[in-house]
């Protein structure tokens, strides 16, 4: 059964593995999450569970959401996300999901919102090469040619400067290094999208990566 | 938030590390895996720098063997680091002793610090 949980990125550090090698890790405060709603094939066309995470104040919740929480009989939460499951009937509304669903050694995918980088040029946004900064060059960090003259126009999809970051990013195949169920901490090898304090959803890896030797 | 990260680090950190600083002469006992078995390899020399903080702190030890300068950097909290013994305390006026690299023999000495 696919597993998933919501969490908050706390920051990165490093730990040593059993061989004494340094492993870069991200610490995530994951869960406890509550099941707020079930989606079924008959009613919604797909199977999923809606999961809530993070306490919030009563006054921060608008009326429609208040009703939504009241129907589920759960306390209001700050974030709601859905996770696809094979059979939503296996879950109960109000059920609590904790980090203990993961074990060290599991592989997971992490979805988050990347840090916003504002309006960025082609070099930073698309990895274009820049021109010489001196020796009489007047071409420094510009985009260069947009197309050939024969097209007589700029084709759609031309990579240009624009807004970078603050978008949904999925990082696949991260290894679970440690699980601390008492403190709701999940420690993953590698980096995770978003700033410290950002919401991330963690689910079982969809594809398993070949073991690196 | 950061406190929680520190907490995770704390579990892996060493609690008993002798005080030493750049200029000190130390003997480092470091475990190495050699042909499938572990043994302790000592390394002796002058500490030329300490960098980083918390879990990621490292220090570099320099020694000259057979006329060749050897520098090794150790993670302070590595489980393979058995221990550090301070053999001699040095009196130095900077935190990075890179100037020792350009010196040989007598010129590469560090004055002893009086307690």
pLDDT tens string, chain B, 115 residues long: the values are 767 677 766 777 777 788 899 999 999 999 888 778 888 889 999 999 999 888 888 999 999 988 889 999 999 988 888 889 999 899 999 999 999 999 888 888 888 877 6
Nearest to A104 by CA among A182, A181, A211: A181
pLDDT band, very low/low/confident/very high, at A151 (cuts 50, 70, 90): confident
Which residues of chain A lie closer than 8 angstroms to B2, CB-CB? 10-11, 196
Helix, strand, coil shares, percent, chain B, to 5: 20, 45, 35
Which residues of chain B lie closer than 8 angstroms to A183, CB-CB? 4, 7
- B/e letters for A93-109, b = 16+ CB within 10 Å, e = fewer, are beeebebebbeeebbbb
Residues paired with residue A12 on neighbouring β-strands, in sequence order: A26
Which pLDDT score is estimated for A13? 87
Question: pLDDT tens for residues A107-132?
Answer: 999 999 999 999 999 999 999 999 99
3-state secondary structure of A132: coil
* Residue among A11, A22, A183 minimizing CB distance to B1: A11
pLDDT at A1 over 60: no
pLDDT at A2 over 70: no
Cβ–Cβ of B56/A183 closer than 8 Å? Answer: no
Question: pLDDT tens for residues B79-109?
Answer: 888 889 999 899 999 999 999 999 888 888 8
ipTM greater than cut 0.90: no
Which residues of chain A lie closer than 8 angstroms to B5, CB-CB? 10-13, 27
Query: Chains A and B: how many Cβ contacts under 8 Å?
Result: 49
Cβ–Cβ of B31/A20 closer than 8 Å? Answer: yes
For residue A184, give the chain B residue with the closest CA: B4
What single DSSP character describes residue A181?
Answer: T
Which pLDDT score is estimated for B83? 87
Chain B residues with CB-CB distance to A under 8 A? 1-2, 4-5, 7-9, 12, 31, 33, 54-56, 75, 77-80
- Measured CA to CA in angstroms, residue B99 lies from B23, B48, B92, B107, B109 at distances of 12, 9, 11, 10, 11
Which pLDDT score is estimated for A211? 61
Average pLDDT value for chain A: 89
Which pLDDT score is estimated for A208? 67
Cβ–Cβ of B79/A20 closer than 8 Å? Answer: yes
Which residues of chain A lie closer than 8 angstroms to B78, CB-CB? 16, 20, 22
Which pLDDT score is estimated for B37? 84
Cβ–Cβ of A11/B12 closer than 8 Å? Answer: no
* Residue among B9, B33, B79 minimizing CB distance to A13: B9
Which pLDDT score is estimated for A62? 86
Domain boundaries, chain A: 117-164
Residue A148 contacts B, CB cutoff 8 Å: no
């Amino acid at each position: 059964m696919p597993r998933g949980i919501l969490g908050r990125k706390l920051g990165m550090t490093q730990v040593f593995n059993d061989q004494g090698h340094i492993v870069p890790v991200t610490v995530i405060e994951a869960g406890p999450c509550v099941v707020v709603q079930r989606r079924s094939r008959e009613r919604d066309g797909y199977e999923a569970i809606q999961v809530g995470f993070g306490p919030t104040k009563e006054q921060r919740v608008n009326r429609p959401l208040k009703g939504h929480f009241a129907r589920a009989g759960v306390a209001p939460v700050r974030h709601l996300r859905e996770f696809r499951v094979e059979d939503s009937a296996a879950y109960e509304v109000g059920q609590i999901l904790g980090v203990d669903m993961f074990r060290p050694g599991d592989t997971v995918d992490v979805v988050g919102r990347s840090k916003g980088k504002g309006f960025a040029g082609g070099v930073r946004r698309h990895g274009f090469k820049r021109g010489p900064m001196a020796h009489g060059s007047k071409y420094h960090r510009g985009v260069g040619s947009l197309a050939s003259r024969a097209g007589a126009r700029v084709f759609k999809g031309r990579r240009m400067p624009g807004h970078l970051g603050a978008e949904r990013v999925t990082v696949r195949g991260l290894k679970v290094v440690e699980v601390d169920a008492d403190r709701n901490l999940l420690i993953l090898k590698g980096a995770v999208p978003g700033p410290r304090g950002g919401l991330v959803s963690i689910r079982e890896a969809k594809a398993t990566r070949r073991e690196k030797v | 938030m950061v406190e929680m990260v520190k907490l995770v680090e704390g579990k892996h950190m060493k609690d008993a590390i002798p005080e030493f600083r750049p200029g000190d002469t130390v003997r480092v006992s470091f475990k190495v895996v050699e042909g499938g078995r572990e043994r302790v390899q000592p390394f002796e020399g002058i500490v030329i720098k300490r960098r980083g903080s918390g879990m990621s702190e490292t220090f570099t030890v320099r020694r000259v063997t057979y006329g060749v300068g050897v520098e090794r950097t150790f993670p302070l909290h590595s489980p393979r680091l058995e221990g550090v013994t301070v053999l001699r305390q040095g009196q130095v006026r900077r935190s990075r002793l890179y100037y020792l690299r350009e010196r040989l023999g007598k010129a590469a000495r560090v004055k002893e610090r009086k307690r």
